[in-house]
């Protein structure tokens, strides 16, 4: 008696095909993710110290503006400004890696 496809486990009705597909794509995807992580790390490191600390606290420690202001001994308004400048700098540093629909964005004329 054959099992229904829904009872064939998490990989679906043909697990060997699914494993072969995933196995081929995994090294390439993993390498791309490692490369992107390195690019982002370098971009964050290129920020000045105050911007870098604010970004790390906000994005990696999930702290809100008020908490960051308390830790950095700044006003909330100063933290917002600091993060805004940091985002602008990160956007510029990562522009070559921003894609829409899988295609790189066109370079600006001054590049």
Q: Where are the domains of the chain?
A: 22-100
Cα distance between residue 97 and residue 95, in whole Å:
5
pLDDT over threshold 60, residue 40: yes
Structure tokens at 64: 């809100």
Q: Is the overall model pTM greater than 0.75, yes or no?
A: no
**CATH assignment of 22-100?**
1.10.10.10
Structure tokens at 63: 């702290």
Could you read off the pLDDT of 2-16 as tens digits, one per residue?
555 555 455 455 555
- Decide: 79 and 65 in contact? Cβ < 8 Å: yes
Decide which of 88 and 24 is more confident.
88
- Decide: 81 and 67 in contact? Cβ < 8 Å: no
Sequence-distant (≥ 6) Cβ neighbours of residue 54 within 8 angstroms: 68, 72, 79, 82, 83, 86
Cα distance between residue 12 and residue 4, in whole Å:
10
Over 18-45, what HEC string results? HHHHHHHHHHHHHHHHHHHHHHHHHHHH
* Mean pLDDT lowest among 2-16, 47-61, 77-91: 2-16
């Amino acid at each position: 008696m054959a099992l229904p496809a829904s009872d064939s486990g998490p990989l679906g009705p043909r697990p060997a095909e699914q494993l072969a597909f995933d196995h081929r794509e995994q090294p390439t995807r993993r390498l791309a993710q490692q490369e992107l992580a390195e690019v982002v790390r370098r971009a964050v490191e290129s920020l000045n110290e105050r911007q870098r600390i604010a970004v790390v606290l906000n994005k990696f420690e999930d702290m809100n503006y008020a908490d960051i202001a308390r830790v950095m001994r700044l006003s909330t308004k100063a933290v917002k400004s600091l993060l805004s400048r940091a985002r602008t700098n990160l956007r510029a540093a990562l522009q070559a890696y921003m894609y829409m629909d899988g295609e790189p964005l066109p370079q600006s004329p001054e590049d």
